[in-house]
Structure 1
Amino acid sequence: MSSSIEPTVDLTRCSTSSVPSLQESLTEKMAKFKEARESRQSLLKAAHRYIIEVLAAVLCLDDAVVEEFVLDAPSLAPFDDFFVKGGERTIAFVYQESEVPGIECGRTFPGTEEGAKIMRLFLANLKETTLFGLCLFFMRNNVNVAINSETIHQEISFSMLDASEGVLMGQRDLLSKVYLPAICATEDWGILTNTEDEEKIKQNFKNAILNYINFLDEAQMMMESVQLSEASGIDFSRLMTADDMKAAGEDVSMMRKCEKVLMMWCKEIDQVLTDSDQIRKEDEASGILTELKHWKKISAKLRSITEEIKGTEFKTVLNFLLVNQSKKLMIWRDLDTRLTDYLNEAKDTVKLLSMLEKNCQPLYSFDPVTMAKSIQLITDSIFMMQYVSRYCSTSQHITLLFIKVTNLMLTGCSAYITDNGSSQIWDQDTETIIKKIQGCMYLFREYQSCFRKTKELILEQKPAGKPIEVSEKPILGKFERFCKRLKKISQMMTAVKTFSLLSHSKIEGIDFLAAKFQNIYINMKTKQDNMLDHGNKEFEVEFAEFTSQINNLVLQLEDFMSSSISKIQSCHHALNLLQRFQKLNMPWLQAEISKNYSLILNRFVSELEHVKEHYQSNREDPPLGRNIPPVAGRILWVRNLFNKIQEPIRNFEKYSDILSTPEGKEVVQMYNKTAALFVEFEILHHKAWMKEVSELKDTLQVAHPKMQELFVNFEAKIHKIIRETKLMQKMGMEVSEQALYFTSKATHLKAT
């Protein structure tokens, strides 16, 4: 390896002519070239050495060795063009086997023969270099800024292309293993944010790179060919003309050799056809593109065989055996027919699959709504293939194509739900995941509908030729199982969202159940790796376990709710607590909540009867508070009784439909009758008070019997009226003008 070769000034590779003038001329040239090399070395700055150090680290060479390789170049101008403001965007180096440089590089390589090749690193113009080794290149981020030793590590980036297996494969590996993963991991997209439209722009950019990678794969595949073995042992100079072939046919040895070569070729061609016809073991997620690649590869191989058949040696052997009527030609003719059929099938299939792949482009959008818009066109295209293709007119072919489409949709749905693998289900918002799941289920319904509609339409129209039977189960079955898995995931997400509210509830004692749910959630979350893999049987077991734990938790929550409510004596407070449970919005509790509403309603009936009995017993002389005026006090008393029965009824009406049941209607009738008594009591006392006030004379100010002055007359009756008026006003009841007059006069006089 040249990496261990040290530069010297040995002139052993120079001419050994004894002519003194020639020896002197070579010595002068070598000195001149060496001086130029030393001049180049003096121009190396920190920026140059930074690049040299990177190259040495990547190639596992010493810095000094890489520096010597760099100095082999006749000029360092490419470095200057790369460093200067407004200069070249890239600078490239190639490390591969090449000819030993001459003395013009300023050094010699002892021990190497003329025309020998060594592993070298050299500055390269890629337009003029045949690349079959490593291409190491640096790129500038901004050509409007000059590069110096202080900014070089920020302004340039390094990459490498391995062309040891061909430039196409090297470029493919660079894109697929370096650039695409880096792009997918990028979070900062400049002005692009995370809106839905801009996410599609990002995804379209990634898809464009993927499509180019696929194109490189296809280009590489098209370059692959089948080469038949050489026809060794045959003297083709004896088979130049038809007469030569007839004459050579008398030679039994020549006949056997040609037949043997033909049978060797037939065996090689038959092996290619047999391999092409083998059942392939494919990834379950393979789509139309995989099928298209397969047939393009077969087509490329078969075309290369036809080119081999058109070759001079193959034609000569065939013509020789034909002229001499060899029986082995029967084997060739059968094989030639098979080859023609296979080639026509491959060409036809590639053509149809290319058209179908174009129609399937929306399926790569990873958006179920966009996918759904193209389903009808794709379905129609596949069903019509049986009438336009000789080779795709079997049930197996049509079913296979539909399965490929199904796989493509499933891959797209999984990428859509997981943001192309960048977000796990449990890391996303519950509402977002549920919305995505609904979109995937919508796609399945559209796919199922389009499939059935097109199939029925073909049967109704009865086109020429008997329509083939295509079973729905192998085509839609996998998607249906996937949707069932999505439904279960949706149920789990809904349960998690619902029970997570327990940790935010202020209901006394519920924190124990909230902690219990957190344990269930964490345990379940740690077990789930790939929930979208509907073939994962472990999920079913874990889902059943999760469902059982949630059901047990629901039973405990129901018991807790009923126990908490039963401890409360007041219907009003019991209803308030029940409504707090109701606001948790747990579907599992609805039955128990309805049951508790019924129990509280029964308790309310007893409370209503108790209030009514209390009213009947005390209406003539109700218990009043201290210093409460009698009329307003009675009204205040009956209003408190009314509020005691009104608030529960309002809650029943607002939060439940139990009052619309026969049982509830009876309670409403009881309530209305009791409320009517209270209202009647209030109206009677209020009217009596209004009448009493209206009959009073203006005796608020009277003359003193001895002194000729007015004074305020606060008789007990007037004092009571004023107190009644103020309390009536607080209760929002009607008050007469005379009562207001008394009150205002009294207030004014007391102030003076």
Structure 2
Amino acid sequence: MKPTKKPSKSPSANVPSHLESSAKKMAKFKEARESRRTLLTAAHQYIIEVLASALGLEDTVAEEFVLDSPSLAAFDDFFAKGGAQAIAFAYQESKVPGIECGRTFPGTEEGAKMLRLILANIKQTIFTGRCFFFTRSNVDSAISAKTIHQEIALVELDASGGVLRGQRELLSKIYLPAVSANEDWGILSNTDEGEKIKKAFTSAISNHIDFLEEAQMMIESIKLSKASGIDFSRFVTVEDMKAAGEDVNLMRKYEKVLMMWYKEIDQVLTKSDQIRKENEALGILIELKHWKKMCAEFSSVIEQTKGAEFKAVLNFLSANASKKIKIWQDLEIRLTEHLNEAKDSVKLLSILEKNCQPLYKFNPIAMAKTLQLITDLIFAMGYVSRFCSTPERITLLFIKVTNLMLTGCSAYITDNGSSPIWEQETEVLIKKIQDCMYLLREYQSCFYKTREETLKQMAAGKSIEVSGKPIFGKFRRFCQRLEKISQLMTTVKIFSSLSHANIEGIDFLAEKFQNIYINVKKDQENMLDHGKKAFDDEFAEFTSEINNLVLQLEDFMSSSISKKRSFLHALYLLQRFQKLNIPRLQVEISKNYNLILKRFVSELERVRKHYEFNREDPPLCRNMPPVAGRIRWVRNLLNKIQEPIRNIERNSDILTTTPDKEVVQLYHKTAAEFAEFQKYHHRVWLKEVAELRETLQVAYPKIQELLVSLAPKIQEVYQETKLMQKMGLHISEQAVWISLKAAQL
């Protein structure tokens, strides 16, 4: 008989039943995931794309994270009419989802965590990362894909430091500034009642921010260590405690616990007294936050000292007259004093902080308007609070105000860092610098005025001598730096005219200035930081190089002018240098002008001598008639001296000295003589022409007519008349008649 063959098993028979079950579950979960994917609409995709953009993820990655959720019901509820007003997401470390999400995460261990985007439940999810809330204000209609971008808004909250901290940051840095900056309040605008409502609303936000801050401080406050090794329920009566106090080891245990708490509390108090390194830009705000934190810590410690264990230890040691009780009592007094100081400081600084709000707006003019009130408040704190009644505390508050103003001025000058100094118009920058200097003057005026009034009002024994030196020293140095910046920018603008100067040979000086400008422009970071001396060294070097450039420019100007043979050309060149508008050249321009003026005087004297020598018989051009020739001759002499003096008079700002005026007087005297010479010969000529008309008419009896004589005098009158007309002189009717007759003949 052949052996019986065993039936072969199918491949699936070798697979364990639990693996087969897992595969079926995975297939089922994948099918459910794909089913969820088919439910995604354009509205779903819009939200996914916004989340991906905010997180810097690919749209597909964000979509897969959303599909990890077992249900999309939250979306449906958010989109539906009358549905939820918000839908939340969190991007934070969470457990790696299991196979029920419909996909696997190879390489991850069971229970491991990964950074992922989750569809959150606001009531159940513990937020520890970046949170995103999509909200809508209108639930009367369903959200459609076409209008979703108009119907919903996105709010992001960073809960990495805690939800309370994240909510406070969101309100204080986004919502409160946005509400404060809003100008369109609809029907609330421009009405007294509306203003009250707006202030109440803003105040409510501020109060909620303060509440969140205090709550956060309480959570983070000091926790005293727990006592161990002691059964506090053993002793009820004083007699029991006294009897147990005979046990030396037990007494030591109780004293050790009390000293443990003592050291912890003493450490808190000592730390609060230490000098803090602060952000100067926050000013009074950081001081207020510090005292709020101290108040929360001291209150927390005192509350803990009222606990059952603490009282049990104190009662036990008191019943047994332990020497450690006196040490604790001294510490308790210190703790109470610190708490009272913290509460008092919080109360006063809160009032001061509200009035310091304009200092955060980075506008020196707006800051100046509130300085008197701030100054009055700080001095008032000196005699209404025993904790702020020392010169050191008052000075510290003023220094914080100063630091806040310095930060605001720096932001004002640079448009909050968006406009570097070198990229601004010089006039705009100088105006900003002047505003900052005005703020310092107002600050000093308010301070010294209030200080004097306060000293008069306060009793002699309680007067507080507050020095202005530590308060204004930094601000003064800052303004000194601003003055240097102003000088630097003004100098750069003035000497930039060299690049556009139409003066032959000045190019090498313009190039030299450009090199100076490039070198000083390299460092922009240290310009407003008056604590860094690098800029001062660079400014000193810049000033030295500009001084050398001015000397070279003066030499070049004097050399160029001296080479001009004509004093008129020299004057024109001098005026080109004057148009550069470089104030430091003014002295040298005046010197060169005086030299040119002397050359003009020499020319004027030469012309006068020539006139005096030739006035009786002037040298005339060839074929020039005598009268018109004399007039043209004297006019040419007048033109030689007239154009320079008119040019000088147009620049009357340089005619300031007595010699200048004497030269002008000499010119006017000479010009008057020339004008009189012209008038005299013109007048004589008109008279001669009038007499000549009668003699030029000759009678011929045979033909019984008067005819014009063709004598040479007619030709002369004709020529004179033509020239007189060209020179714009008056022509008589006789001269016109003779000229017409001569032309006809």
Contact 1:40 1:71 in 2 (8 A): no
- Contact between 2:68 and 2:97, CA under 8 Å: does it hold in 1? no
Q: Could you tell me which of 479, 482, 491 is aligned with 1:483? A: 479
Q: 1:486 to 1:99 in 2, by over 3 A?
A: closer
Specify whether residues 158 and 569 from structure 1 end up closer, same or farther in structure 2 by C-alpha distance, changes over 3 A only.
same
Call closer, same or farther: CA 1:703–1:54 in 2, change over 3 Å: same
Name the residue aligned to 2:464: 468
Give how far 1:513 is off.
1.4
1:247–1:30 distance in 2 versus 1, CA, 3 Å: farther
CA contact (8 A) 1:222 1:296 kept: no
Q: Which residue of 2 aligns with 1:311?
A: 307
Structure 2 residue 633 is matched with structure 1 residue 634: no
Tell me the alpha carbon deviations over residues 103-145 of structure 1, each in whole angstroms, 9 at most, x when there is no partner: 9989999xx9x9x997785422435544234435678999999
Aligned-partner Cα distance in 2 for 1:678–1:144:
100
What TM-score, normalized by structure 1, do the two folds share?
A: 0.80
Give the conservation status (yes or no) of the 8 Å contact 1:221–1:297.
yes
- Structure 1 window deviating more from structure 2 (53-62 vs 168-177): it is 53-62
Does structure 1 residue 527 correspond to structure 2 residue 526?
no
Cα gap change, 1:165/1:599 in structure 2, threshold over 3 Å: closer, same or farther? Answer: same
Instruction: Note if contact 1:426-1:525 (Cα within 8 Å) is conserved in structure 2.
Output: yes
Whole-Å separation in 1 of the counterparts to 2:638 and 2:207: 80
Alpha-carbon spacing, 1:401–1:564, altered in 2? closer, same or farther (3 Å):
same
Equivalent pair of 2:440/2:476 in contact (CA under 8 Å):
yes
Alignment of 1:81-96 (within 5 A): 81=78, 91-94=87-90
- Note the aligned Cα RMSD (angstroms): 4.6
Whether the aligned pair in 2 keeps the contact of 1:359 and 1:374 (CA below 8 Å) is: yes
1:454-490 CA-to-partner distances (Å, cap 9, x unmatched) read 2233344554533222222211111111111111111
1:663 paired to 2:642: no
2:494 to 492, 498, 503: 498
C-alpha distance in structure 2 between counterparts of 1:716 and 1:76, whole Å: 125
Matches within 5 A, 1:366-381: 366-381=362-377
CA 1:318–1:516 in 2, change beyond 3 Å: closer, same or farther? same
> Hey, what does 1:226 align to over in structure 2?
222
**Per the alignment, do residues 701 and 422 of structure 1 end up closer, same or farther by CA in structure 2, a change over 3 Å counting?**
farther
- Check conservation: 2:455, 2:464, Cα contact below 8 A: no
Q: Distance in 2 between matches of 1:452 and 1:65?
A: 62
Query: Contact 1:70 / 1:123 at 8 angstroms: preserved in 2?
Result: no
Tell me which residue corresponds to 1:272: 268
Counting only pairs closer than 5 Å after superposition, residues 331-350 of structure 1 correspond to structure 2 as 331-350=327-346
Contact 1:176 1:213 in 2 (8 A): no
Match of 1:730 in 2: 726
**Counterpart secondary structure, 2:88:** strand
Identity of matched residues, %: 67
- Could you list the runs of 5+ residues in structure 1 that have no partner in the other structure? 1-7, 14-26, 184-188, 192-206
**Pair 1:545–1:67, CA change in 2 (3 A):** closer
Matched residue, 1:648: 644
Amino acid at match of 2:688: E
- The answer to whether the Cα contact below 8 Å between 2:77 and 2:84 also exists between their aligned partners in 1 is no
Separation of aligned partners in 2, 1:50 and 1:260: 64
1:591–1:211 distance in 2 versus 1, CA, 3 Å: farther
1:70 aligns with 2:67: yes
Aligned partner of 1:678 in structure 2 is 674
SS in 1 for 2:683: helix
Change (3 A) 1:703 1:243: farther
Aligned partner of 1:549 in structure 2 is: 545
SS in 2 for 1:508: coil
SS at match of 2:522: helix
The corresponding residue for 2:259 is 263
TM-aligned CA deviation for residue 413 of structure 1: 0.9
- 1:9–1:107 CA contact under 8 A, matched in 2: no
Kindly provide the amino acid, as one letter, of the partner of residue 585 in structure 1: N
Cα distance in 2 for partners of 1:727, 1:257 equals 133
1:323 to 2:319 alignment: yes
Q: Given residue 574 of structure 1, which amino acid in structure 2 is its aligned partner?
A: A
| Residue 290 of structure 2 corresponds to residue 294 of structure 1 | yes
Q: Are 1:422 and 2:432 counterparts?
A: no
CA, structure 1 residues 715+350, in 2 after alignment: closer, same or farther (shift >3 Å)?
Answer: farther
CA contact (8 A) 1:86 1:144 kept: yes
Between the aligned partners of 1:709 and 1:507, the Cα distance in structure 2 is 72
The SS at the match of 2:90 is strand
Verify the 8 A CA contact 1:41 1:71 in the aligned structure 2: no
- What is the distance in 1 between the residues matched to 2:131 and 2:224? 34
Alpha-carbon distance between aligned partners in 2 of 1:363 and 1:31, rounded to the nearest angstrom: 64
How far is the alpha carbon of 1:266 from its aligned partner? 0.9
Contact 1:218 1:293 in 2 (8 A): no
For residues 391 and 72 of structure 2, the distance between their equivalents in structure 1, rounded to whole angstroms, comes to 68
Question: What residue is the counterpart of 1:445 in the other structure?
Answer: 441
Shift of the 641–9 alpha-carbon distance from structure 1 to 2, 3 Å rule, reads: farther
Q: Which amino acid aligns with 1:583?
A: K
1:721 to 685, 695, 717: 717
